[in-house]
Structure 1
């Protein structure tokens, strides 16, 4: 068997084997036929490489590695609870069974940069800080440029269930500009994924923070939700309703977290957001009158309790108009206080 780099083989093979970004009916058919997906074969091959090809592995401390920022996974989101099963597995086996991939950084602050194996790096770092300082990170050193490193990390990350669609979207959005001249089709062809799938993930990054905050975790915000929310955000009226509903849901999520209650699921969040825009309820209208009793405008309250004020041109002073609006605003505040 050739001593060619296992990583180089993986990168070359993915160029010839279409690997969908998300499961499709074709995937299910292929799985039923007994096909083993490429990612699993590559991960299994790491162990074979050490025995058959005798690829050299090294043992190092996580503190010797910086984390390559081109990986989709957000290192800051990792914690003991999220990685508990991996920590237990590494502890039982005395190390990570599947080597991480690092590259040398001659001019960097640390000797190595981690390309793949972020979860393994975090877990071993945690163990080193919690009574197991002798456990090392097992890694393979590869000479990769940034684009090859990105493709390799993507191969591994596609099958990971604990990377959010938003993380993937942010990663792809940065990569398409950095490596592919901003051309999504070129990137899709290079990664052997469909352009429509790639577009859905990148489009998810346009979801504003006020909507993201309505979800308990970024893991709950799926790419398919973006297809429903983004068109609604383009309409000012719908956007206003979405923002009001999202603020209310975010407050409830925070309250539940403080009381150790079950969070509102992603499916329920989506249902409530869409209902806020699509459900038609009774609209209440009332005139806004000046001190002389003359109507100077109208206040409309929709089913989401949102007030819309409209004023007609008049000769009244600013102070007089504000005085006419004061009882309308005070009434709304009183009703809101009673609901609380």
Structure 2
């Protein structure tokens, strides 16, 4: 049984002592592997669940801010599959987890299940007002809520490594007195892995902005960027390069072009030698896959365009040159 199924079964089932069964399933395995540590974390979290099930409207509960997921970034496109599934089943098969908030404006606070909450909210406002949110009431404090939410979030691919890092950093300070090793033990995560996630939060926003999306900035990229960023001289050069890349990303987005990949961004940021002031940067001009010339960009002289003889029409050539000129304007505004 997959770990996702184990979580779903534990949250959806009655008080049938699932934890001893889980422990028996891994009793023969030393508690040193990644899988067994994750199962330990799940077993600890599942013991907290009391499982009274209720049905409520998404508008009846607030969203706990301690979850790693940025609720504001959820969209219909991102959740289309989940929306269709909930619509077909007339509700969420796996309950969300809420806790009571008697002193707040709303009676409940959502601890885990933000995607399900958003999807049902969307359905309620788009012709399906009768679909309700199936929830389990959990009586837990913030630290326990964080651990329970973290177990679910580790299974999700649509939470960026940077979001996890920010969430982990906040949790270390809020619940573990700033001691990473203490948190690592509690959430059954290796100390080195936790440190790598939190390390992403040290990457300045100027560098982050070079990536087309925060989703593109991964832990493995931080391993390459952070050592260089700790060198003041190198950091300055990388931030200048990042501004150029960010401008190019914006230009590509405006023209519906493919963004620069995360790996390519890292390669350009960590390139050992940078172009000296005044030195020309060369690029090939292509039209329909064929090279028709070259553009040289020089700080002191601007753009120098060299065209080869071609049978292409003037309109095709001008169409190829237009984005180069527009991009040059963007780079000039960026100080390059």
Query: How far apart, in 2, do the equivalents of 1:227 and 1:41 lie?
Result: 28
Q: Work out which of the residue numbers 1, 10, 15 in structure 2 matches 1:3.
A: 15
| RMSD of Structure 2 on Structure 1 (CA) | 3.6
Moved over 4 A (4+): 16-20, 39-42, 300-305
Which one of the candidate residues 113, 124, 127 is aligned to 1:131? 127
Please say if residues 159 and 215 of structure 2, whose CA atoms lie closer than 8 Å, have aligned partners that are also in contact. Answer: yes
1:227 to 223, 232, 241: 223
Give the greater-gyration-radius structure (CA).
1
Residue 267 of structure 1: how far off its partner (Å):
1.3
Q: Give yes or no for contact 1:39–1:155 (8 Å, CA) kept in 2.
A: no
Is the Cα–Cα contact under 8 Å of residues 280 and 303 in structure 1 kept in the other structure?
Answer: no
2:66 pairs with 1:70: yes
Q: Is the 8 A contact 1:39 1:159 kept in 2?
A: no
Residue 280 of structure 1 and its aligned partner are, at CA, apart by 6.2
Answer yes or no: is 1:111 the counterpart of 2:101.
Answer: no
SS at structure 2 position matched to 1:97: coil
> What does residue 243 of structure 1 align with?
239
**1:102 matched to 2:98:** yes
Unaligned runs of 5+ in 2: 1-12, 283-297, 305-324, 329-336
Q: 1:185-223: per-residue Cα shift (whole Å, max 9, x none)?
A: 111111111111101111100111111111111111001
- Establish whether residue 268 from structure 1 lines up as the match of residue 264 from structure 2: yes
Displacement after TM superposition at 1:181 (Å): 0.4
The verdict on how the C-alpha distance between 1:147 and 1:213 changes in structure 2, with shifts beyond 3 A counting, is same
Asked if 1:120 is matched to 2:104, the reply is: no
The verdict on how the C-alpha distance between 1:115 and 1:235 changes in structure 2, with shifts beyond 3 A counting, is same
Q: Match of 2:149?
A: 153
Deviations 1:238-288 (A, max 9, x none): 22221122111111211222222222111121122122xx1366x5xxxxx
Contact 2:97 2:113 in 1 (8 A): yes
Matched, 1:82 2:78: yes
Residues 125-180 of structure 1: CA deviation (Å, up to 9, x unaligned): 11111221111111001101111101100111111111111000000100101100
> What's the TM-score, normalizing by structure 2?
0.71
Mean Cα displacement is larger for which, 228-237 or 63-72?
228-237
Give the match's secondary structure for 1:139: strand
Query: Do residues 208 (structure 1) and 204 (structure 2) align?
Result: yes
Partner of 1:328: none
Matched with 2:54 is 58
- Structure 1 residue 4: Cα displacement: 7.5
2: distance between equivalents of 1:102 and 1:144?
Answer: 10
1:40 to 1:202, Cα distance in 2 relative to 1, 3 A: closer
Alpha-carbon distance in structure 2 between the residues aligned to 1:219 and 1:100: 25
- For residue 141 of structure 1, the aligned residue among 132, 137, 141 is 137
Q: Who is 1:182 aligned against?
A: 178
Paired position in structure 1 for 2:301: 335
Q: Is the 8 A contact 1:18 1:192 kept in 2?
A: no
Structure 1 segments unaligned to the other structure (5+ residues): 21-25, 284-299, 306-331
Q: 1:76 to 1:61 in 2, by over 3 A?
A: same
Contact 2:41/2:188 (CA < 8 Å) preserved in 1?
no
CA 1:59–1:172: 2 relative to 1, 3 Å: same
How many positions carry a matched residue from both structures?
273
